[in-house]
A and B are shown apart, each in its own frame.
Chain A
Amino acid sequence: MGSQGGFGQSKEFLDLIKSIGESRSKAEEDRIVLREVETLKLRLNDPNTPKYKLKEYIIRLLYVEMLGHDASFGYIHAVKMTHDENLLLKRSGYLAVTLFLNEDHDLIILIVNTIQKDLKSDNYLVVCAALNAVCRLINEETIPAVLPQVVELLGHQKEAVRKKAVMALHRFSQKAPGSVSHLISNFRKKLCDNDPGVMGAALCPLFDLITADVDKYKDLVVSFVNILKQVAERRLPKTYDYHQMPAPFIQIKLLKILSLLGIGDKKASEQMYTIVGDIMRKCDSTSNIGNAILYESICCVSSLHPNPKLLEAAADAIAKFLKSDSHNLKYLGIDALTRLIKINPEIAEQHQLAVIDCLEDPDDTLKRKTFDLLYKMTKSSNVEVIVDRMIEYMISINDSHYKTEIASRCVELGEQFAPSNQWFIQTMNKVFEHAGDLVNAKVAHNLMKLIAEGFGEDDDTADSQLRSSAVESYLRIMGEPKLPSAFLQVICWVLGEYGIADDKYSSSYIIGKLCDVAEAHPDDDTVKAYAVTGIMKIYSFEIASGKPVDLLPECQSLIEEMLASHSTDLQQRAYELQSIFTLDAQAVKKIMPVDSTCDDIESDKNLSFLDGYVQQAIENGAQPYIPESERFGISSISDFKSHEEHETSAHALRFEAYELPKPSLPHNIPPVLASSTELVPVEPSYVADILHPTSAPSASDAGSSELKLRLDGVQKKWGRPTYSSPAPSSSSIDQVKVQNETPRPDSASSSKPKIPDTSYISRKQQIEISPEKQKLAASLFGGSAKSEGRHLPSQKNSKTQNHTSDTSRSSKAPAPDTAVKTSQPPPDLLDMGEPSIASSTPSVDPFKQFEGLFDFTQETTPVSTGGVDGATKDSDFTSLFADMSLSAQTHIDPNPEPNGLRGSKVEPSAHQLNKGPNLKEALEKDALVRHVGVTPSGQNPILFKDLLG
């Protein structure tokens, strides 16, 4: 037990843990813990329990709660312990209450007094314990009770107490900014505390405050820069060093603060350039914490006003990260890249292969980060590849949270950059099919709208092609089980609207399909509503075109079922469908005009068509209508009005309070609306049922505008929120509006889907990669898929360079990959029978060694080892090349190395070595090469002669 730091535990506790550890099932564990709970209950409630035992019991109670059992009976004992004079008991009590209670717990009130007293204690440990509790247990109401003491402690002689007091004050400002707003100057003062730890603590609240309001703290830029400078120049006591870095956590916090202060502020940024540059230079990139600072510097650079030099340094650092073997660093590299491409979009191209490697990495975190990057760099030239990738990934995961996110991103990118509507529809189909219930319902309506609107130009043939392809794809898909509801709604709507538009399918076929859908989803009223409306449309079109129609038997039964439905909405629709058959062709044509969804619907807000009727009524002695606003006025000046009028106005007032916002004119809307409201979600809520489905936009509009006139709370409270929110009523007008502001790029941009920027092409040609990735990279980053230019001479140069003068760490990576490449793609190299290959494929192992070395350098830090590494590695490579030379003469290197590339550019291919080239993979790659049509040129043997001389 000695190794447990003298904190002996009683035998009971030991036994408890032992038996829990040995329990074989959760049930058994639960039994043991429940027994323990009973024991503790007895002991804690026993007034005769000796004090010194209390601590252990309370710790055991904490343990019980940690295992997920109810320990609330003991909370009061923990509170009691905080009152104790004994330090150990008091501290245990404080620990327990901070873990047990939340800040709004009823028992807190019993502790506040103790905390107040303890904050004044002479014993700094008591004060510290109380401050710990303050950070966790004090809420907005109790802050004033302890605030004076905490402020006083800011000047305590012990720096540990000052530090904690700053933190406590920070907590207050987080919980209730208002309560400490007058004390903010204290944080500024604490920046000058002579203990760096306290200064560091003050940075935390300042960071939060600056995040909330940058402008108030611009004057501190100079101070922060100075502090950072002093820290970076190692002016702090040695004790603040961590792994040879001076006060890294303070540096990181300062860099975060500086980046906040520098956003969009050229002047402030200029003050920071020097120090940030210095830090980036000084960073020890072999240690974890050094990289943390480096990463933070990159983040800082990316938010400052752009400075070319710093950006270049940042790009170099990113290259280093991406090149690293550590997934953590790659992750940070990708993240940093995401930040930097906002300023300099071209930087991503330098790292395209690294990015693709990360995308294919088995590490999910890294993959998602990379998707974030892709999402940020999507443009119309690469949207297809990126969205395809995203969907592919979306299908492969189960995490519904991330699925939702990625699905909505796909939709967003699709809407923004879709190269063609056809593609958009197909993509949306895929998204809906796999994540339909997760995406926003609006997306479904956008999709319907797109199909209805077509290309937005007067290109009818293209539009109808689009529609019939949509219809066809839906007919194909709809048989599949378990389609999401939103998707089925789209399908039903499209089939209803365009199912028989091109005469390819008979009406009975489509209607049969729609009936099937309704039948297959007996519990989904929304889908059923869509289906029955679809059926209604098809029948209407048939009737309107004068064809004889028969009600299909399955349709008949569907109608009957719906007439008896609990949903009034479904009933309504069924009745409407029934009544269609009783009308003549002309009437039906008016109700359900063919392809009219895009037509603007003029809604007569003034209801002028009723003028005659109103006139007549007035002539017959009816009271004229008094607008509500005036009615209100009447009541206030009602003194000279007749008693009767007074009563009506009083009545009117009450009436308004409850009933005003209800759209009261629903039945007057021209029937044409019926076909367009289907665009709107059918809300299965009662509101939707109560309101007539076609309840007019005019009504709700009128209601809301009316309301704006008077803002005296009550009415608003009662009326507005209920009635302005339901979606159905906003219907047609919104629809028309949105239709006009087409969210997708129109054909102007979509007609030139893939004209790569010339700059990309040139870069593309320089970089050598395996064809598979090359292709992906090309499509992602906009380069041409097959690079034609092979620059042999340059390749020669860089290779010799790698081979001979390879001592620096930065060029380690390129060297092995030349080897990998030679063993990869060319067909003749892959002749399995050739023994020399077999000997060259083990090249994996040297890489493994190499990776080990790499790790080694990371761990052991000193720069001097670099040379040694280089040497060992060199020998590895020479042996590799020696291997190679046997077969190399006949081989071709399909991947020329670019001329005079910096390490950062060569780097991407280095990642291939992670995967380890094996024959099978190489074969596959070869197959792909052939498939893609990139055939290696036959000149490379010369290269090897040169190289190996």
Chain B
Amino acid sequence: MIRGVIVMNDQGNPRLIKFYEFQPPEKQQELVRSIYRILCSRAENVSNFVKADSLLGPNVRLVYKTFSTLYFVFIFDKSENELAMMDLMQVFVETLNKCFREVCELHVVFNFYKIHMILDEIILGGQVLETSSEEVANAVDAISRLEKNANSMIPSFSGWHR
């Protein structure tokens, strides 16, 4: 299963942390730090895989990829295929691109909620749920629409829809 997804920027600031098995906040911070250290030490043009058994136990590996200023990291165990994880990451990023046009770090920061929503449509309980970025984007759109409708029931406030 997939153990977790981390997005951080090239300074090691976390932008999204999601673990599919509970990790206490301190442990999460520690993981982010040590993963950042590992990623920094890796040269360019090497493989995108890292063995992470010192962090999370035997057979745990991670796949990472950089997209502009962001590191995307998927942590998973031996029941997943490394290359397939790369593609799943691709799906994730493609979907982000669909939802935000030219996605960048700021989008991720400001749309924390939506990013989680997207990720929840792709991965559920550590298992791959959907791999078509189109489907994911549609689902997310549908949810957003419905939420907006629900939201409009709340008395309007000028600062709400900026």
Contacts and interface: CB of A to CB of B under 8 A. Distances in A.
Is the pairing of A and B real? yes
Interface of A: 1, 3-11, 13-14, 17, 50-52, 55, 59, 62-63, 65-68, 70-71, 86-88, 91-92, 95, 99, 101-103, 123, 125, 131-132, 135-136, 160, 163-164, 167-168, 170-171, 174, 197, 201, 204, 207-208, 211, 239-240, 242-243, 248-249, 252, 256, 288-289, 291-292, 295-296, 326-328, 330-332, 361-366, 368, 399, 401-402
B150 A331 contact: no
Given A52-B151, A197-B130, A252-B84, A4 B50 contact: no
29 contacts: A4-B100, A4-B107, A4-B110, A7-B111, A8-B160, A17-B110, A51-B154, A55-B113, A86-B154, A99-B116, A125-B146, A135-B124, A170-B127, A201-B127, A239-B135, A242-B91, A248-B131, A249-B128, A249-B131, A288-B86, A289-B83, A289-B87, A291-B83, A331-B82, A362-B46, A363-B43, A363-B46, A365-B47, A401-B54
Interface in B83-124: 83-84, 86-88, 90-91, 99-102, 107, 109-114, 116-117, 120, 124
Interface string B119-146: 0100011011111101100010011101
B45 interface: yes
Nearest to B105: A21
Given A4-B107, A292-B83, A295-B83, 11 more contacts: A1-B162, A4-B110, A5-B114, A62-B112, A63-B112, A66-B16, A99-B116, A135-B124, A204-B127, A332-B83, A363-B47
Nearest to A245: B87
Contacts of A62: 112
Contacts of A168: 125
Interface of B: 1, 13-14, 16-18, 20, 22, 24-26, 28-29, 42-43, 45-51, 53-54, 79, 81-84, 86-88, 90-91, 99-102, 107, 109-114, 116-117, 120, 124-125, 127-132, 134-135, 139, 142-144, 146-148, 150-151, 153-155, 157, 159-162
Contact of B112 (A59, A123, A362): A59
B82 A68 contact: no
Nearest to B104: A3
Contacts of B47: 326-328, 330-331, 363, 365-366
Contacts of B26: 68
Nearest to B47: A327
A242 B132 CA distance: 7
A211 B146 CA distance: 41
Contact of A91 (B43, B87, B139, B147): B147
A211 B77 CA distance: 14
Given A66-B17, A167-B129, A327-B45, A95 B146 contact: no
Candidate in B42, B82, B129 with the most chain A CB atoms within 10 angstroms: B129
Contact of B113 (A14, A59, A125, A363): A59
A52 B160 contact: yes
A65 B25 contact: yes
Contact of A132 (B25, B107, B124, B139): B124
Contacts of A8: 160-162
Contacts of A332: 82-83
Contacts of A4: 100, 107, 110-111
B50 A365 contact: yes
B86 A328 contact: yes
Contacts of A249: 84, 88, 128, 131
A252 B81 CA distance: 8
A426 B153 CA distance: 79
Given A4-B100, A17-B110, A365-B46, A68 B132 contact: no
Contact of B134 (A52, A239, A243, A366): A239
Contacts of A11: 159
B42 to A, nearest CB: 7
Nearest to A241: B132
A365 B49 contact: yes
Contacts of A9: 110, 162
Nearest to B80: A252
A665 B113 CA distance: 70
B46 A70 contact: no
* List of 7 A-B pairs having minimum Cβ-Cβ separation, nearest first: A8-B162, A401-B54, A292-B83, A102-B22, A135-B125, A363-B46, A327-B47
Given A87-B150, A256-B79, A288 B111 contact: no
A511 B28 CA distance: 53
B87 A292 contact: yes
A8 to B, nearest CB: 3
A328 B82 contact: yes
Given A136-B125, A242-B132, A95 B22 contact: no
Contact of B54 (A92, A242, A399): A399
Candidate in A102, A201, A204 with the most chain B CB atoms within 10 angstroms: A204
Contacts of A92: 113
B25 A68 contact: yes
Contact of B25 (A70, A95, A363): A70
A123 B101 CA distance: 29
Contacts of B162: 1, 8-10
A288 B83 contact: yes
A6 B13 CA distance: 25
A670 B12 CA distance: 64
B72 to A, nearest CB: 15
Contacts of A363: 42-43, 46-47
Nearest to B41: A364
Contact of A125 (B14, B127, B132, B143): B143
Contacts of A366: 46-47
A195 to B, nearest CB: 12
Contacts of B134: 239
Nearest to A137: B22
A289 B84 contact: yes
